[in-house]
Amino acid sequence: MKNPQGRGRRRGRVVAGLCVLVAALLVFPGLVPNTPGRPGSLLETFLPWLGLALPVLLVLAFLCRSRTAAAALLLPAVAWLSLYGGRLSTAPAEDGAFTVVQHNVSDENRDPASTARALAGTDADLIALEELTAPALPVFGAALAADYPHHATRGTVGLWSKHPLTGVRLVDIRPEGVGEGWDRGLRAAVRAPQGEAAVYVAHLPSVRIGPTTGLASGRRDASAKLLAGALAAEPLDRVILLGDLNGTLDDRGLAPVTSLMSRPEPSFAFSWPAGLPLARIDQILTRSAQVTAVWTLPATGSDHLPVAARIAL
């Protein structure tokens, strides 16, 4: 005759093992290698969503009626809360603070004028845009000109500023195999009341996720290394990086860039896709300055949400 208690204990140990596994993945995602398909980067991209395993594990532990499983559930719960519990609130801008906005406006945006007006209404000190098309560029320029008299564009990226810009130049972040005319990086120095800072605007190559290829991020990773080289060579101490980096800050593919910059205060502020945001791939990073708050803005005609940040220069 089968022993139901023994079977329950075995199932409880299995659930406990799953709890330990989830906790280990949360705390040590680097244990998953970036073999072909880059499963490590894929895990890191959606790492916060491992929290969805907690209610499933709770139900399994209840069904097993296992104290071992219930106790083990504390491991992933504590791990998730310690990593992400502080990110559940958003912070609006404070009057008088230096604020910036980063937005991939989408080259398929059907109403760039409305998007431009919404961005102008943020009253940010700096606005960085990506996927600027030739037809849309004059539309954004006209809508932002009154409040942002200083601007610069290179290729499909642009920067609008309330304060003077100097030293504007192209930053070449083309990965190998990409031809001429693929211009997605610029650098400028902004003379803000709080002092001068170098501002970089970048749009790294897109990644693709497929059942056979996994996370195809080779070009993105190569472009990140080129951007990191430019950041490392920047002579100004204070640096602001605004861009669609097509990756989260946990993604090891962006480590060449993130290792040179300060991480912002914890916040989810998921920016993509706009209809059901799953990750923040639009980033605002600093060096010798601190991003004290990050939040998203209402949707525009883009498939990305605008991301805003408050910076202590």
Tell me the torsion sign for CA atoms 274, 280, 286, 290.
positive
The verdict on 23 and 126 lying in the same domain is no
Q: What is the pLDDT of residues 24-35, one digit of tens each?
A: 999 999 999 988
Shortest CA distance to 84 belongs to which of 54, 63, 109? Answer: 54
| 175 has a pLDDT exceeding 50 | yes
The verdict on 59 and 178 lying in the same domain is no
The verdict on 136 and 76 lying in the same domain is no
Q: What is the pLDDT of residue 32?
A: 93
The verdict on 117 and 198 lying in the same domain is yes
| 56 has a pLDDT exceeding 70 | yes
The verdict on 66 and 109 lying in the same domain is no
| Residue at which a domain ends, from 39, 60, 87 | 87
The verdict on 83 and 102 lying in the same domain is no
Banded pLDDT at 93 (limits 50, 70, 90): very low
Are 284 and 298 within 8 A, CB to CB?
Answer: no
The verdict on 79 and 202 lying in the same domain is no
The verdict on 78 and 112 lying in the same domain is no
255: domain range? 98-312
3-state secondary structure 28-77: CHHHCCCCCCCHHHHHHHCHHHHHHHHHHHHHHHHHHCCHHHHHHCHHHH
The verdict on 293 and 144 lying in the same domain is yes
| 9 has a pLDDT exceeding 90 | no
Q: What is the pLDDT of residue 66?
A: 87
Q: What is the pLDDT of residue 129?
A: 98
230 in a domain, yes or no? yes
Q: What is the pLDDT of residues 107-158, one digit of tens each?
A: 999 999 999 999 999 999 999 999 999 999 999 999 999 999 999 999 999 9
Number of structural domains found in the chain: 2
The verdict on 46 and 146 lying in the same domain is no
The verdict on 32 and 163 lying in the same domain is no
- CA R_g for the chain: 22
The verdict on 231 and 294 lying in the same domain is yes
